Amino acid sequence: MRWSYVALALLLACGDDSDGMAGDASGECTRDAECDDGLFCNGTERCEGGDASTSARCVAGEPPCTGRCDESRERCLGCDVPDADGDGQAAIECGGTDCDDGDPNRFVGNVETCDSVGRDEDCDPTTFGEDLDRDGFVDDRCCNVQAGGELLCGTDCDDLRDSVSPSSVDACNDRDDDCDG
């Protein structure tokens, strides 16, 4: 009976890579294997520190890749496939200009489409749709999400009439000619 308690104690003392530390590289540890979260792309966690007054703790590892990483195959993705979405433009991280290499409908030179959800098709946040009446103002229903997350929209309240724009003078014609509401 005494041997079974000793065997049980030894068995419990032996850890493995999945001792509850997965995803939490901040707990106390006695060896590196206790810190391993089993993920490749976030690096190898280590057990460091500790002295007579403090315990050793798990510290996060350095990611092995400087660019993209494929967790399922545990490998770094270099620029051997610089145009992952097949739109003809290389990803920015591979020296190209494609602002979203995961979407074949977003690349420099693509035609910007008027939409209210803020989709930037041409990788230029300052353009957000056509000026159909060519008065210098884009339809107010055309928008793009800016770097800070805010939505930038056109200001032309009637993009089919060049006489209606924010720079027009309002006339008494039952229409908002200057787009001020």
pLDDT confidence of residue 21: 43
Domain boundaries, the chain: 20-68, 111-169+176-181
DSSP letter at 156? B
Q: Are 132 and 116 in contact (CB under 8 A)?
A: no
Mean pLDDT across 26-37: 86
Considering the entire predicted model, what is its pTM?
0.46
Mean pLDDT across 97-116: 87
pLDDT confidence of residue 8: 40
Other beta carbons less than 10 A from residue 49's beta carbon: 12
pLDDT for 16 beyond 50: no
The span from the CA of 53 to the CA of 114, in Å, is 63
Residue-by-residue DSSP string for 5-61: HHHHHHHHH---TTSS-TT-TTSB-SSGGGT--S-STT---EEE---SSS--EEEPP
The span from the CA of 56 to the CA of 116, in Å, is 53
Containing 69, the helix (H) or strand (E) segment is strand 68-70
Write out pLDDT tens, residues 89-102. Answer: 988 878 889 988 88
pLDDT for 168 beyond 50: yes
Dig out the tokens for 30 from the structure.
């006695």
Half-sphere exposure of 143 (CA within 13 A, CB side): 12
Dig out the tokens for 101 from the structure.
């290499």
pLDDT confidence of residue 14: 40
Q: Are 158 and 142 in contact (CB under 8 A)?
A: no
pLDDT for 31 beyond 80: yes
pLDDT confidence of residue 157: 95
Write out pLDDT tens, residues 33-90. Answer: 899 899 988 988 989 887 878 888 999 888 877 777 888 878 777 676 678 888 999 8
pLDDT confidence of residue 80: 64
